[in-house]
Amino acid sequence: MSPASAILAALAIPTAGAVLIVACGRAPNLREAVTLASAGLLLATVAALVGPVLAGARPAVVLFDLLPGIPLAFEVEPLGMLFALVASGLWIVNSLYSIGYMRGNDEPHQTRFYACFALALAATMGVAFSANLLTLFGFYELLTLVTYPLVTHHGDDAARRGGRVYLGYLMVTSIVFLLPAIIATWALTGTTDFRPGGILAGAPLSNAALGGLLALYMFGIGKAALMPVHRWLPAAMVAPTPVSALLHAVAVVKAGVFVAVKVVVYVFGAEMLAGVRAVDWLPTVAGFTIVAASVVALRADNLKRRLAYSTVSQLSYVVLAAALLVPLSIVGAILHIATHAVGKITLFFAAGAIYTAAHKTEVSQLDGIGRRMPWTMAAFTVGALSLIGIPPAAGFFSKWYMVQGTAAAGNWVALAVIGVSTLLNAAYFLPIVYAAFFRPERVAPAHDHGEAPLASVAALVITAAATLVLPFFGSIPLALARAAAGP
Amino acid sequence: MIGQHLPALVVVVPLVAAPLIVLARRGAAGWAIATAASLASFAMAVALLLQVRAAGVISYAIGSWPPPWGIEYRVDAVNAFVLVLVTALAAVVAPYARRSIAAEVPADQQYLCYAMLCLVLAGLAGIAITGDAFNLFVFLEISSLATYVLIALGRDRRALLASYQYLIMGTIGATFYVIGVGLLYLMTGTLNLADLAARIGEVQGSRPVLAALAFITVGLCLKIALFPLHYWLPNAYAYAPSAFTAFLAGTATKVSIYALLRFYFSVFGEAATFGALPMREIFLVLSIAAMFLASLAAVFQDNLKHMLAYSSVGQIGYITLGISLDNQAGLTGSVVHLFNHGITKAALFLLAGALVFRLHSVRFADLAGVGRSMPLTAAGIVVGGLSLVGVPGMAGFVTKWYLVRGALDAGSWAIAFTPVVSSLIALWYVWRFVETAYFRAPSAAAAAAKEAPAILLVPALGLAFACIYFGFDTSFTVGAADAAARTLLGGAR
B303 φ, ψ (degrees, to nearest 5): -140, 130
Contacts of B389 in chain A (CB under 8 A): 175
Helices (H), A156-275: 157-173, 179-189, 207-220, 232-235, 241-246, 252-262, 270-273
Least-confidence region, from A72-76, B230-234, B270-274, B316-320: B270-274
Mean pLDDT value across residues A170-179:
94
* pTM given for the model: 0.92
Q: Does B65 score more than 70 pLDDT?
A: yes
Averaged over A10-32, what is the pLDDT? Answer: 91
- Judge: B438–A155 Cβ closer than 8 Å, yes or no: yes
User: Do residues B208 and B173 make contact, with C-beta atoms less than 8 angstroms apart?
Assistant: no
Q: Residue A249 CB: number of other CB atoms within 10 A? A: 30
Cα–Cα separations (whole angstroms), residue A386 to A401, A426, B326, B339: 15, 10, 57, 54
**Nearest by Cα to A246 from A24, A48, A42, A411:** A42
Res B491: pLDDT = 53
Q: State whether B409 and A187 contact (CB < 8 Å).
A: yes
pLDDT in tens, B17-46: 999 999 988 888 889 999 999 999 999 999
CA angle B166, B172, B174 (to 5 degrees): 95
* Reduced DSSP (H G I as helix, E B as strand, rest coil) percent helix, strand, coil of chain A, to 5: 75, 5, 20
Q: What is the pLDDT of residues B156-201, one digit of tens each?
A: 889 999 999 999 999 999 999 999 999 999 998 889 888 888 888 8
CB neighbours of B141 closer than 8 A, spacing ≥ 6? B123, B174
Chain A residues close to B400, C-beta within 8 Å: 179
Separation in Å, CA of A219 to nearest CA in chain B = 15
Q: Give me chain A's average pLDDT, please.
A: 89
Residue A64 at interface with chain B, using a CB cutoff of 8 Å: yes
- Span A294-327, pLDDT tens digits: 999 999 999 999 999 999 999 999 999 988 888 8
A119 vs B: CB within 8 A? no
- Asked if the C-beta of B474 comes within 8 angstroms of chain A's C-beta atoms, the answer is yes
Element at A289 (helix H, strand E): helix A281-299
pLDDT tens digit sequence for A396-426: 888 988 999 898 888 888 999 999 999 999 9
Confidence class for position A119, pLDDT limits 50, 70, 90: very high
Compute CA B454 distance to the chain's CA centroid, rounded to the nearest angstrom. 26
Q: Give the span between the Cα atoms of A274 and A411, in whole angstroms.
A: 13
- CB of B340 less than 8 A from some CB of A: no
Helices B6-24 and B110-129: crossing angle, nearest 10°?
170
**Is B218's pLDDT higher than 90?**
yes
What's the rounded mean pLDDT across residues A332-360?
Answer: 89
Longest dimension (CA), chain B: 69
CA A101 vs CA A153, A222, A335, A354: distances in Å: 14, 29, 29, 10
Q: Alpha-carbon distance B298 to B294, whole Å?
A: 6
Asked if B473 lies within 8 A of A64 by C-beta distance, the reply is yes
Over residues A99-114, mean pLDDT: 86
B458 shares contact with chain A (CB less than 8 Å): no
Domain boundaries, given as residue ranges, for chain A: 284-487
Alpha carbons A123 and B332: distance in angstroms, whole number? 30
| pLDDT digits 0-9 by tens, B68-82 | 888 889 898 888 999
- Which pLDDT belongs to residue B441? 84
- pLDDT digits 0-9 by tens, A184-201: 999 999 889 998 888 888
Alpha-helical regions (H) of B300-394: 304-325, 328-359, 364-367, 370-373, 375-389
pLDDT of residue A325: 86
What average pLDDT score do residues A84-90 get? 91
The DSSP 8-state label assigned to residue A324 in this structure reads: T
Signed CA dihedral, B402, B404, B408, B411: sign only: positive
**A283 upstream amide cis, omega within 30 of 0:** no
How confident is the model at residue B492, as a pLDDT?
A: 45
Task: Report the share of chain B in percent with pLDDT over 90.
Answer: 60
Nearest residue of B to residue A71, measured between CA atoms: B472
What is the DSSP code (8-state) at residue A265? I
SS3 label, residue B72: strand
B410 burial level (CB within 10 Å; 0-12, 13-18, 19+) = middle
Provide the residue type at A124 as one letter: T
Report whether B385 contacts B425 (CB < 8 A).
no
Whether the pLDDT of residue B493 is over 60: the answer is no
A127-146 average pLDDT score: 94
Mean pLDDT for all residues in chain B: 90
pLDDT at A487 over 70: no
Q: Tell me the shortest Cα–Cα distance from B310 to chain A, in angstroms.
A: 21
Query: Residue A277 CB: number of other CB atoms within 10 A?
Result: 9
Range from A6-10, A388-392, B430-434 carrying the lowest mean pLDDT: A388-392
Asked whether the beta carbons of residue B482 and residue A68 sit closer than 8 angstroms, the reply is yes
Q: Chain A within 8 Å of B400 (Cβ-Cβ)?
A: yes
Q: Does B421 touch chain A (CB under 8 A)?
A: yes
pLDDT tops 80 at residue A6 = yes
